[in-house]
Amino acid sequence: MKKLLFFLLLSVSALTSCQSQPAPGQSDGTAVLEAEAYKAKMAALGEVQLLDVRTPEEYGAGHIEGATLINFFDADFVERTAAAFDKEKPLMLYCRSGNRSAKATAKLKAAGFKEIIDLKGGYNAWPKQ
């Protein structure tokens, strides 16, 4: 009987611990959107805080209109981003393929940004004119 009770408690504990973590992009204030949904979110927001975290060379080769460039690899990336954007408003960001922007999202969430929206696939996924 004790073994049965032990396994029952262990099972309940395992199930509840798996459910207690937020799903990615939901209650933690982050989202990763496909290009069309990202464009729709930009339109819905109207005044957009848009951050390009790529290098100046990548930015110079093409970028989303209205994006502010702050290179993720700069030592003062978080400080410059915090100075340039309102932490209480949604921040939309992107990189080349999605890797740097995911890392940038984690750093900026830790710095107090409330809502961050990342472009899935980065600028590579953005429709070119």
3-state secondary structure of 76: coil
The verdict on pTM exceeding 0.85 is: no
Q: Which residues contact 112 (CB under 8 A, 6 or more apart)?
A: 82, 87
Is 4 among the domain residues?
no
Is 95 among the domain residues?
yes
pLDDT 10s digits, 34-53: 999 999 999 999 999 999 99
Contact criterion met (CB below 8 Å) for 103 and 19: no
Is 51 among the domain residues?
yes
pLDDT 10s digits, 97-128: 999 999 999 999 999 999 999 999 999 999 98
pLDDT 10s digits, 80-93: 999 999 999 999 99
Number of domains in the chain: 1
CATH code for position 74: 3.40.250.10
Catalytic positions: 95
Is 93 among the domain residues?
yes
Is 85 among the domain residues?
yes
Domain residues for the domain of 56 are 24-125
Contact criterion met (CB below 8 Å) for 89 and 83: no
